[in-house]
């Protein structure tokens, strides 16, 4: 209380940041979209044959992507896409550069009836930060 009295602006900033964090966490949980890390993605691929959909531009995808990932441009992203529709019952993990674009696409999949939708938290950047390999076009 003494701190709050001496530093009212810092105290308000702390309260504002705390409320923003709580809101962000609740919104993420209520959206029905799981955020997973690179280790969880590896387990989903190996254990549950998850479909990994990379939403980055083709040039970025060709420079390096997660093995087995399918490249679908966000501008052409459609839950009824021939690559996506058959995977309705499988775990689908959406990947982009940093995780934001994938979150938008994940919400569209959930609305279209996909039940197991996840987003790679931090995107390909997190994958690389975890020292996991990327394959170049023509190799997977």
- The tens digit of pLDDT for each residue in 36-46 reads 999 999 999 99
Cα 37 from Cα 132, distance rounded (Å): 12
Q: Note if the pTM is more than 0.85.
A: no
> Buried b / exposed e across 49-84, counting CB within 10 Å, b at 16+?
ebbbbbbbeeeebeebbbeebebbeeeebebeeeeb
Most confident of the ranges 31-40, 61-70, 87-96, 100-109? 61-70
Token pair of 138 as six digits: 């023509």
pLDDT at 25: 65
Is the predicted pLDDT of residue 30 greater than 60, yes or no? no
Contact assessment for residue 41 and residue 31, using Cβ atoms and an 8 Å cutoff: no
SS3 136: coil
Is the predicted pLDDT of residue 81 greater than 80, yes or no? no
Cα 99 from Cα 94, distance rounded (Å): 8
pLDDT at 27: 60
Residue-averaged pLDDT of the chain: 87
- Looking up tokens 């696409």 gives 105
pLDDT at 92: 93
């Amino acid at each position: 209380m003494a701190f709050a009295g001496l530093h009212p602006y810092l105290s308000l900033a702390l309260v504002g940041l705390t409320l923003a964090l709580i809101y962000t966490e609740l919104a993420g949980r209520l959206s029905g979209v799981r955020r997973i890390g690179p280790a969880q993605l590896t387990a989903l691929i190996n254990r549950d044959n998850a479909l990994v959909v990379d939403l980055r531009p083709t040039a970025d995808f060709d420079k390096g992507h997660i093995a087995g990932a399918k490249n679908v441009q966000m501008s052409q992203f459609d839950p009824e896409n021939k690559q996506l529709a058959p995977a309705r019952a499988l775990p689908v993990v959406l990947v982009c550069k940093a995780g934001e674009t994938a979150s938008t696409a994940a919400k569209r999949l959930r609305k279209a009836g996909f039940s197991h939708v996840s987003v790679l938290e931090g995107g390909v950047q997190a994958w690389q930060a975890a020292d996991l390999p990327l394959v170049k076009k023509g190799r997977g």
